[in-house]
Chain A
Amino acid sequence: MSTASFGYEQGKREGSANDASLIVATAHELSSPLVLLRQLGLALVSENVSEDERKLLSERLVLTSERALRMAVSLSMASLSQQKLELEPINPISICQDVTHQLTPLFAAHGQRIALQPRSRVPLLVGNRDLLKQILLSFGDNALYYSSQTYPVRMSVTSHSGKIRIGIRDYGPAVPANIWQQLEARISRHAVMPLASRPHASVVGLIAAKRLAELMGGAIGITRHRDGTTFFIDLRVSGQMSLL
């Protein structure tokens, strides 16, 4: 098992991908769900579609639209400035419950499952609820095809060394340990091809997640397992309890 993480200072040293390249990459990625939406729409209006098929296609249209919209929201949030950001103490379990609840219909429609690893008491973390939720949704969307009923994508919350780590563990193909550096380098070269091992993973979504984490003073990273990967975010533990 190996772990690598990327924080704000490291991000500043490496510099950001230029905006024009990011636009190209975003256009490339958004076209995938749009192609699917179009084909689902064409199937829906075609002849010989039974009522059951119509219902199924409609559900898929909605779930695919929601997934594309989540990507768009992530990108718009990534342009926020640190000064405008409000940080607050957040219960990590509650936000994980929100995320699993929101993603469960999409996972179920693909015959997959996402679950939260039970944990009773975890300290609060310092972050922005909307940004954190967006990061976790993005990780969850990327893990969609890499679980099963027996081995669900699993969200976990752990605390260590004054930090809270929220991880999303999947059973997909390996990704490079220095994935974010590679992705930013690739985008700056206008090389917008998807990850070879995971064509469904949103390259732009991962870069947006990294920026959102940095805005909250946190860091994201990966732990590689023999049979999958955990994408995680580390954020500071809230010190408010020490004031009591």
Chain B
Amino acid sequence: MSRSILVIESEPWLAEHYQRTLERRGFAVKCASNAYSAIDSIDSDLPDAVVMNVDISGASSIALLHELQAYTDTGMLPVIVCGRASDVTLDELQPYGVKRLVDSTTMRPDDLVAAVRSVLL
């Protein structure tokens, strides 16, 4: 059975691109455009991993990470953040359960796939 990934990305064309990239590598992908719809999606169907942009709409990404950390099941979810390495570091995000930071200014589609695979090992 394919592993499920939730992509949280406000820019629909970028979300679609991530979805296509991951689906072509065999993952089942759902997308959420903001923190609230992400929580709804996680509530109804817990994914195996989350890929999220730092700049999302609704509550901030940090608020969403806090929310996920607050519960036993979602607190274990591996999270990969796509963001500008000049704005945020993995050290800053690790306390919120983030396992990987992919620099959105230099990432290639394979980098995203590799990051997802690495947290699902």
The complex places the Cα of A194 from the Cα of B61 at a distance, in Å, of 12
The complex places the Cα of A40 from the Cα of B17 at a distance, in Å, of 8
Query: What's the nearest-Cβ distance from chain B to residue A96, in Å?
Result: 26
- A28-B87, A32-B11, A200-B10 in contact; A42/B109 too (CB < 8 A)? yes
Q: How large is the interface on B (under 10, 10 to 19, 20 to 34, 35 or more residues)?
A: 20 to 34
The complex places the Cα of A200 from the Cα of B21 at a distance, in Å, of 23
- Cβ of B37 within 8 Å of any chain A Cβ, yes or no, is no
Q: Which residues of B contact A178 (CB under 8 A)?
A: none
In the complex, per-residue mask of A11-36: 1 if CB is within 8 Å of any chain B CB, else 0: 00000000000000000100110111
Contact B17 A43 (CB under 8 A): yes
- A-B CB pair tally, cutoff 8 Å: 51
- A36-B11, A43-B20 in contact; A197/B58 too (CB < 8 A)? yes
Give how many A residues have a beta carbon under 8 Å from the other chain's beta carbons. 25
- DSSP class of B's interface residues: helix, strand, loop or mixed? loop
- Partner pick for B14 among A39, A46, A48, A173, CB 8 A cutoff: A39
Contact B84 A31 (CB under 8 A): yes
In the complex, per-residue mask of A139-164: 1 if CB is within 8 Å of any chain B CB, else 0: 00000010000000000000000000
Contact B87 A36 (CB under 8 A): no
Q: Which of B12, B55, B56 has the most CB of A within 10 A?
A: B55
- A28-B87, A35-B105, A43-B109 in contact; A199/B55 too (CB < 8 A)? yes
- Cβ of A196 within 8 Å of any chain B Cβ, yes or no, is yes
- Can you list 13 pairs linking A and B with CB atoms under 8 Å apart? A32-B55, A35-B105, A36-B13, A36-B14, A39-B17, A39-B109, A40-B13, A43-B20, A43-B21, A48-B24, A110-B12, A145-B10, A173-B57
